[in-house]
Amino acid sequence: MPDLTTPPRDLVSLPKAHLHVHLESTVRWETLREIGAANGVDVPEHTGTFGDFTSFFAQNDLVRACLRRPADFRRIAYEFCADESAQGVRYAEVSFTAAGHGERLGDLAMPLRAVLEGLEAGEEAFGIECRLILDHSRRRSVERAWRTLDLARRHDRVVAVGLAGDEAHPGDPFTEVFAAARDAGLHIVHHAGEGEGPASIRQALGPGRAERLGHGIRILDDPDLVAEVRERCIPLEVCPSSNVALGFAPSLEAHPLPRLLDAGLVVTINTDVPALIDTSLATEYARVRDTFGYDDPTLADLAGAAVEASYAPFATKSRIHEEIDTWLAHP
């Protein structure tokens, strides 16, 4: 339990890696209004977080409608670096639906190229290191998935590809795409075990070839699967506030995070859709600490697990691990 005689530490200072966050869901609302105005899209005043799936998808659609020009994509990537750095994030793997934007705008390569330019500028300005995961909605075609893979192969800064979206749509049609992705040296990260149960996780880890699980919180429904994932050291990208906001956990207090840790699973803390639910990575760590009574060593372990689960270069991992150790040694 934390020491209640001293004020809690500011968790911005905890060096962190961020593994599960969607770029389109990080856009500052004032930025969205400015981009929207430039592109003829009316963006209302920010009224708070969404209340149900309908409003959630409506906000996602609004963001996509605003993003049209290379400058738009460069700006949101640059501001992502600024905002993550301000939260103590040293390394981030941000997901981006590159092919979907490219098809929508009639230029498959432009959105990804512009995002990469924005990340490069942001890294230099804010001292953060970023890589990309190109995601593909399960609802969309296999042909688009192949286009996503083709984009990923072109850029060294893209470290992984994977499925996102409604898990009720099966992953099996994409098996050949992800086999080819592995052959190309890319990592595989699928969303699984959030909206659907253990079967979605088994598909992701088997035919889907996943090396990490986006969410994975329903793994506890299957003790045999827990044992397998624990033995294989498959990391879970857990997003507590997002799980609650989307109705996959009834409350933060009832979130399965403590049981996942107690089961010996590799757990990382993430935000998923921070701008849509008014959170940040430092806020998520603070909520976890305050809700479950985790002390500094536990928080440092969670931060270290994310670093180790990342696809960062060895030197980057070593540096951030050292920074976490320093943070822990100097309360």
Choose the catalytic residue: 93, 167, 194, 237: 194
Instruction: Give strand pairing partners of 268.
Output: 237
Instruction: Render 125-137 in DSSP notation, one character per residue.
Output: HH--EEEEEEEEE
CA distance 224 to 74: 45
Is 194 noted as a catalytic residue in this protein? yes
Amino acid at 330: H
- Residue (of 22, 18, 33) closest to 66 by Cα position: 33
- Full 3-state SS string of 176-212: HHHHHHHHCCCEEEEEECCCCCHHHHHHHHCCCCCCE
Sign of CA dihedral 60, 65, 66, 69: positive
Tell me the three state secondary structure of residue 40. coil
CB of 230 closer than 8 Å to CB of 259? no
Any bridge partners for residue 187, and if so which? Answer: 160
Return the structure tokens found at 243: 């799980």
DSSP 75-122: HHHHHHHHHHHHTTEEEEEEEE-HHHHHHHHT-SSHHHHHHHHHHHHH
Show which residues are catalytic.
194
